[in-house]
Amino acid sequence: MHILITGGAGFIGSALIRYLIKNTDHQILNIDKLTYAGNLESLVEVESNPNYTFQKIDICDAAAIEQSFSEFQPDLIMHLAAESHVDRSIDGPSEFINTNIVGTYTLLEASRKYWQSLDQHKKSQFRFHHISTDEVYGDLEGTIDLFTELTPYAPSSPYSASKASSDHLVRVWYRTYGLPIVITNCSNNYGPYHFPEKLIPLVILNALDGKALPIYGKGNQIRDWLYVEDHAKALYKVVTEGAIGETYNIGGHNEMQNIEVVKTICHILDELKPQSNNQSYEELITFVEDRPGHDLRYAIDASKIKNDLGWTPVESFESGIRKTVEWYLNNLDWCRRVQDGSYQRERLGVKT
Ligand code: NAD
């Protein structure tokens, strides 16, 4: 098949492309604007594979998208391109509205035109898979409830509101125009090649530099952590086996308070890379003022994808976080090039 992936230079998109290139024979076209979050160095393992191609395109550029569809003739579209960082959405929501809402609308319209032009067989095989977040559901009180596919939307940040809007548009393009779509809403991901502004890589890299490990509020926010390679496998299952028009929640059954996550990382680092003064990295934990509107708890009920499609995560939090810390320790070069900006300067043709 020809699979067109948007946002393939990002954290989850690059994990998905590495998984597809290594485990299938599909032709993959990666379309990405290469914002600060897009890093082609996350794809070095697969970039010379003949089944992989990259095009630098903004998903808001309808003409470029249409041309790309007509040349590549995708059987499946997996849409991951987005602005994804909650703090950045609070500081400046406009790019979130453009990319997440207008960009998704632009892709949907281009997909609808393209899909309508296909012959009957190709038309029936075509899928538009929209990759979304559990943050559209808002947060949960107490420790018992879980987000199901029927939980009402109640987003709390400009990021989650823009993702909620895009989910609504995708459902409407199915209901109104019959475009064959599937939607997935996933919990927090972690793993290799995660951009160092996000909690887990930030903590690992700050600890290694002997810097403070900042934690919002009291660190009691609960997230349901999923190893990114488990997410990539779930996405492939849903796009190939999921029922048209359906939504699937994806989660790791790994609910942890942020403070527990940070302490776990500190303990693994104490073991693998002890500080020269023999103090635990925990000593570097610093509590900072909480984020406005910060959601307290997210937790996914992933029974639908398990029962209908037979997907369950392979990694526990213990195994996944250890692999992640080891990956960062072995790939400090990738991290430093992100931190000093050289991953971007070189592709803009500026020598570093
Ligand atoms: P990311 O920020 O790491 O990557 C986003 C990618 O999209 C980048 O490569 C960026 O260059 C590209 N992009 C941004 N704007 C674009 C535009 N206008 N045109 C083309 N490309 C553009 O994000 P991620 O963490 O990999 O998340 C991928 C998707 O999964 C997002 O839709 C996000 O909402 C969703 N999601 C993420 C998580 C998580 O924990 N990271 C959890 C659930 C769902």
Segments making up each domain of the chain, as ranges: 2-193+226-251+297-304
C-alpha to C-alpha distance for 105 and 98, rounded to whole angstroms: 10
By the 8 A CB rule, do 262 and 213 touch?
yes
Q: Is the pLDDT of residue 352 over 50?
A: no
**pLDDT average, residue stretch 283-307:** 92
Catalytic residue list contains 177: no
Backbone angles phi and psi of 226, in degrees to 5: -125, 130
Cα(97) to ligand 1 centroid in Å equals 14
Q: Which residues line ligand 1 (CB under 6 A)?
A: 6-7, 9-13, 32-35, 37-38, 58-60, 80-84, 99, 103, 131, 133, 163, 186, 188-189, 195
Q: Which of 60, 68, 80 to mutate to test the pocket of ligand 1 (most atoms within 8 A of CB)?
A: 80
**pLDDT computed for residue 54 by the predictor:** 98
Q: Atom 29, ligand 1: which residue's CA is nearest?
A: 80
Residue 278, amino acid: N
In the chain, how long is the greatest CA-to-CA distance? 69
Catalytic one of 137, 159, 174, 298: 159
pLDDT at 156 over 60: yes
Q: Above 60 in pLDDT, residue 321? A: yes
What's the pLDDT score for residue 66? 98
* pLDDT digit string, tens, across residues 235-280: 999 999 999 999 999 998 899 999 999 999 999 999 999 999 999 9
114 among known catalytic residues: no
Ligand 1 mean position to 279 CA, how many Å? 37
pLDDT band at 351 (very low <50, low <70, confident <90, very high): very low
Residues 6+ apart with CB under 8 A from 197: 85, 87
Q: What is the 8-class DSSP label of residue 196?
A: T
| DSSP assigned state of 103 | I
CATH number of 2-193+226-251+297-304: 3.40.50.720
Residue 237: how many other CB atoms lie within 10 Å: 18
The residue-averaged pLDDT of 296-323 equals 96
Atom of ligand 1 nearest to the CA of 103: 18
- Which residue, judged by its Cα, is nearest atom 14 of ligand 1? 82
Cα–Cα dist 338/90, whole Å? 23
pLDDT at 110 over 50: yes
Instruction: Output the CA 186–ligand 1 centroid distance in Å.
Output: 12
In angstroms, what CA-CA distances link 296 with 9, 135, 202, 292?
A: 30, 11, 20, 11
Name the active-site residue from 32, 58, 134, 295: 134
Per-residue pLDDT at 295: 81
Q: Where are the beta strands (DSSP E) in the chain?
A: 2-6, 27-32, 52-56, 76-79, 127-133, 181-186, 189-190, 213-216, 222-224, 226-227, 247-250, 255-257, 285-288
Q: Can you tell me which atom of ligand 1 is nearest the CA of 99?
A: 18
Q: How far apart are CA 152 and CA 137, in angstroms?
A: 6
Task: Report the pLDDT value the prediction gives residue 266, as an integer from 0 to 100.
Answer: 98
Task: Specify the pLDDT at position 302.
Answer: 97
d(CA 236, CA 26): 12
In the predicted structure, residue 287 carries a pLDDT above the cut 50: yes
Residue minimizing CA distance to atom 1 of ligand 1: 10
Q: Is the pLDDT of residue 346 over 80?
A: no
pLDDT tens digit string along 82-101?
A: 999 999 999 999 999 999 99
Of the pLDDT bands very low, low, confident and very high (cuts 50, 70, 90), residue 160 is very high
Question: How far does the centroid of ligand 1 lie from the alpha carbon of residue 82, in Å?
Answer: 4
Residue 311 pLDDT > 90: yes
Residue 227, Cα to own-chain centre: how many angstroms? 11
The model carries a pTM of: 0.96
Residue 290: the pLDDT is 86
209 as an active site residue: the answer is: no
